[in-house]
Structure 1
């Protein structure tokens, strides 16, 4: 069955791959900070609400966005740590909290974390903490969602396409392609899983 999906973060490497894959079967509405038709800032409640009102009822909401702070723990400030809390954590949580009310019965929400949840790296304390918090939220939220709604999270390893930019942070990690990671979003949307972490490592 063809579904109407809102994809936030569609301008990024992962988002583009997810959009291309999902469009083979579904209607995908893309949104991002830079999107001309559907601009959105997940840090702004009014911006998220306006987007959801504009696109109308949905069958699925997907987030492939979220920034965190990378830097040495010995030099990290609370303000720097807060960047990840406000963006990747609260931004995705805000999308889920507001988005649930715009989903059709049996709809789904899929958020994004990453391998650092369980496999920390140097300078990645903020990423590990934020990812773990997002996954904790998903597990708990799955138990409370009404109307047959589901929520899951996709946790990819470092992307092949991002190795030039981030490869030095991930020594010895096995990268995955954005196209392979995109399959997990389809599993979340078209499957029956709820409260699950789809690891693409």
Structure 2
């Protein structure tokens, strides 16, 4: 991707973010805290407190959010099947419960495509958008959110925090998750597929399921459900 295309893409993303923030109007309450680095961090409401459970899907090479949750006293399961992430997470196995698996609308194996710009980033093949260049593909194990929760032994108690940073698969996974009756108290979603209609549709779907949009930070959306 040449420099001009990169610049135009960045401008397009910023315009979409501005439009969606003004349309969706997150509450942005004062009682929120930000955990993790500028790159890998997330806002959560400060009344979501340990002890509790957190499922963080999509690690990349920054799990500072996951580590902060663990430090506070949450039981944290971190899931990512991609090669760089699997290698990176080895150093944190004494703090995080690591699962080398992704999430999708079914359980099994599925083909992922590798981002041509960010080699550590992989997306489920059919979810890649026209603005993302890909190079090469590889199959990785995936589970539904419901199956992953059960496999990790988290189905005996309410899920306090679910983070989904899954490179464009989020819209399909959210629909599947809600259909399965999975309703985490705090939901952190990165809308990597930031096409306006899709983001609006997923936000409205979550709102109909009882969620309130608290915060938008770039492509990161934070929802809570009473």
Structure 1 length-normalised TM: 0.48
In terms of fraction of residues, the more strand-rich structure is: 2
In terms of fraction of residues, the more helix-rich structure is: 1
Structure 2 length-normalised TM: 0.43
